[in-house]
Amino acid sequence: MENEKRYLIVGLGNAEQQYAGTRHNYGFEVANAVAKAFKAEFKSDRLAYVARATFKGRELVILMPTTYMNLSGKAVKHWLAAENVSVNHCLVIYDDIDLPLGIFKLKPKGGGGTHNGIGNIIETLGHTDIPRMRCGIGKDYAQGYQVDYVLSRFSSEELKLVEPCIERAVSAVKSFVTVGMQMTMNQFNTKETALAKQLTVSDDSPQ
């Protein structure tokens, strides 16, 4: 029987050390920030690093899969079953080139786009009804250089947008586990859209 007080928070990334801090590990960065907010420590477990926390009567299982990114579904499927968590209590967090840098968006379901991690989770679970948080990394790269771009690290200037975004993302995770996806989307997506417009105006302004 599924535990209605338990939530699985999944940050996607590549566990190998050479990928630490790269754009493609944005999900790991958010998961780390969530764990830090609750003073929870990650421990190596089956297919993932796992941290546990409690918040307002909810149990959080925070996950960073140690499979390759394109096998993330294996870890998610295992931990959903092991912890008796329903899919609508699972939030998958990952980088997205189709959103501007420093912005995130919440969605209750949808396709995988070009992201191999969420794509594999959808394929493994057999449906697209998977709540997710897409964290924008922009697409500031020349044609043919997408892989190099997503595996590169944020510049110090970019971190000025990324770090506040991660803080807001942690607040959104807290909201998700207390009031659910719909109310969290209503609260955070509108603000993120407004912020994206501000950033666009700023980018277009004279230097």
Active-site annotation, residues:
24
Annotate 140-150 with b (16+ C-beta within 10 A) or e (fewer): eeeeeeeeebb
Please provide the size of the chain in residues: 207
CB within 8 Å of 121: residues ≥ 6 apart: 72, 73, 76, 92, 112, 130
Contacts of 49-57 with CB under 8 Å at 24 or more apart are 49/15, 50/79, 55/174, 55/177, 55/178, 56/177, 56/178, 57/5
**Dist. CA 25–CA 152, nearest whole Å:** 10
Q: How many CB atoms are located within 10 Å of the residue 198 CB?
A: 9
- For residues 106, 181, 117 and 129, what is the CA-based torsion angle, rounded to 10 degrees? -120
Give the orientation angle of helix 116-125 with respect to helix 72-82, to 10 degrees.
50
Residue type, 156: S
Residue 124 tokens, joined: 């493994």
